[in-house]
Amino acid sequence: MELQSLKNRFSIIGNTPSLNHALNTAEQVAATDLTVLIVGESGVGKEVFSQIIHSLSARKHNPFIAVNCGAIPEGTIDSELFGHEKGSFTGAVDSRKGYFETVNGGTIFLDEIGEMPLGTQARLLRVLETGEFIRVGSSKVQKTDVRVIAATNRELMEFTQKGKFREDLYYRLNTVPIRVPSLRDRKEDIPLLFRKFVVDFAEKYKTKPIFLDEEARNLLTTYTWPGNVRELKNIAEQISVLSKTDHINAQVMAGFLPEASKHNMPMVTSGTPVGEFANEREILYKLFFDMKKDVNELKKMFFEILQNPSIAGQSGNFSREAILNDLKEDIIPANIQNNNIPTQASVPNHLPAVQINTNQPLIIDNDVQSHFEVDESLNIMDKEKELILKALKKHRGRRKDASTDLGISERTLYRKIKEYDIEE
């Protein structure tokens, strides 16, 4: 099936490469009976991908059921999945078929698979390997022919290392992985999705579709969307119903975004294009490096004044206490000073009071100079490339392990390797 036809059939909006790759993988694997693990944050639409796989498979005319493993109590999940016999536990007044029995020949979608108890994981592994299961309270082995599609918003590899998820089950589920991108990794798709939602809600509530000005659109794309597509749809519905005007500016848009998230949103200035930073972590790194660069410049300027008093433009008495106060005012933000947070300036304790007088030679202790050396370049791109090279070398080119060590997704690591032209 053509990719655009697939999107139209399942109402999928967007054209980012990562989304297209996930859809192509789902279409290719649908014709097989391979187990699929769909990975993505909450709200990205993982269940839609399971429906795509089932609808394009040979099982499409057989049952499909979605089960949220995190919503079923631990004491009853075995009964829900595999069934139970009468009297097998308190409250079991009748025998009951489980999902693997009722969906025989079809597809079962196990959402939030990372929340499944370890005992149930062992039962599931047996179903995947042999197609066999046993009802709770029974000794009779039964057969089933069910395709399993699992999904998680957790990193299951980390769970296996902590003993919270069976490693053998992880590799059995991960036969074909599909990673659904988050909304903040699909910034160019956000206006398209928002437009689709507001048009749908306008038809539903018999109102005019709303329109965003450029500033409101920029605010929409720079917001982090922790709830992904689900959150975007909710915001679109709120604005469609509650807004008193159909032309939305940035001020109106900001009123519908959660307060906590707005306070944590990075400021985008005219000199910083939207999308320059991949995530909030890079923004913080850039901020810290810029602050350190400013401190180094202050150190360098101060040392030059000590070497050449005429730069100061006037004679005066600069004591150690005055220098500390000046540096404190320049380096430490006023809000931190007001909170009485203890700080330590970068001036050494043994720095003597210096008399600056143009008629008298200036003597500088050589030890003082060593404390004001300017640090090496802290360009964030250079440091990021250096870290990627170290991680790849450490894990002998294994990108999956390197991305885990770096704390980024495997897709992001691929992009960075291509961006920095790194040869492995």
At residue 421, the pLDDT reads: 80
β-sheet bridge partners, residue 161: none
Virtual torsion, Cα 188, 194, 199, 205, nearest 10 deg: 180
Range 247-269 burial, b when 16+ CB lie within 10 A, else e: ebebebbeeebeeeeeeeeeebe
Q: What burial letters (b/e) apply to 200-214, b meaning 16+ CB within 10 Å? A: bbeeeeeeeebebee
Q: Give the separation between CA 200 and CA 209, rounded to whole angstroms.
A: 9
Q: How do the pLDDT tens digits run along the chain, 424 residues long?
A: 689 999 999 999 999 999 999 999 999 999 999 999 999 999 999 999 999 999 999 999 999 999 999 999 988 999 999 999 998 888 888 999 999 999 999 999 999 999 999 999 999 999 999 999 999 999 999 999 999 999 999 999 999 999 999 999 999 999 999 999 999 999 999 999 999 999 999 999 998 899 999 999 999 999 999 999 999 999 999 999 998 888 999 999 999 988 544 444 444 444 444 444 445 555 665 666 667 777 777 777 777 776 676 655 544 445 555 555 555 555 444 444 444 444 444 444 444 444 444 444 444 444 444 444 445 555 677 778 888 888 888 888 888 888 888 888 887 888 888 787 887 6
- Are 290 and 319 in contact, with CB atoms under 8 Å apart? no
CATH number assigned to the domain covering 379-419? 1.10.10
- Which uninterrupted H or E stretch holds 218? helix 214-222
DSSP string, 296-362: HHHHHHHHHHHH-GGGGSS-EEE-HHHHHHHHHHHHS-HHHHHTT-----SS-TTPPPEEE-TTS--
How wide is the angle at C-alpha 378 spanned by C-alphas 373 and 382, nearest 5°? 140
CA–CA separation, 34 vs 55, rounded Å?
Answer: 15
The Cα-based distances of 72 to 110, 127, 244 in angstroms read 11, 19, 42
44 in Cβ contact with 180 (< 8 Å):
yes
Q: State the pLDDT at residue 283.
A: 60
| C-beta of residue 16 within 8 angstroms of C-beta of residue 27 | no
CATH code reported for the domain at 184-263: 1.10.8.60
Helix (H, G, I), strand (E, B) or coil at 72: coil
| Predicted pLDDT of residue 114 | 94
Give the model's pLDDT for residue 374: 45
Residue spans per domain, the chain: 3-181, 184-263, 282-370, 379-419
Which tokens is 103 given?
């969906």
- Give the DSSP per-residue string, 144-176: ---EEEEEESS-HHHHHHTTSS-HHHHHHHTTE
- This prediction has a pTM of 0.61
Extract the tokens encoding 89: 């536990």
H or E stretch including 200?
Answer: helix 190-205
Query: How far apart (Å, rounded) are the C-alpha atoms in residues 283 and 380?
Result: 10
**In the prediction, which pLDDT does 218 show?**
93
Contact 126, 169 (CB under 8 A): no
Residues 88 and 80 sit within 8 Å (Cβ to Cβ): no
Q: Give the CATH number of domain 3-181; options: 1.10.3720.10, 3.90.45.10, 3.30.70.3420, 3.40.50.300.
A: 3.40.50.300
Residue 394: the pLDDT is 86
Q: Which residues pair with 224 in a beta bridge?
A: none
Distance CA 124, CA 114 (A): 13
The secondary structure of residue 371, as a DSSP letter, is T
Give dist(CA 176, CA 332) in Å, integer.
51
Which stretch of DSSP H or E encloses residue 286? helix 280-307
Helix runs in 56-144, H state only: 77-82, 99-102, 118-130
Q: How many CB atoms lie within 10 A of CB 189?
A: 20
Rama region for 145: left / alpha / beta (φ>0; ψ in -120 to 50; rest) = beta
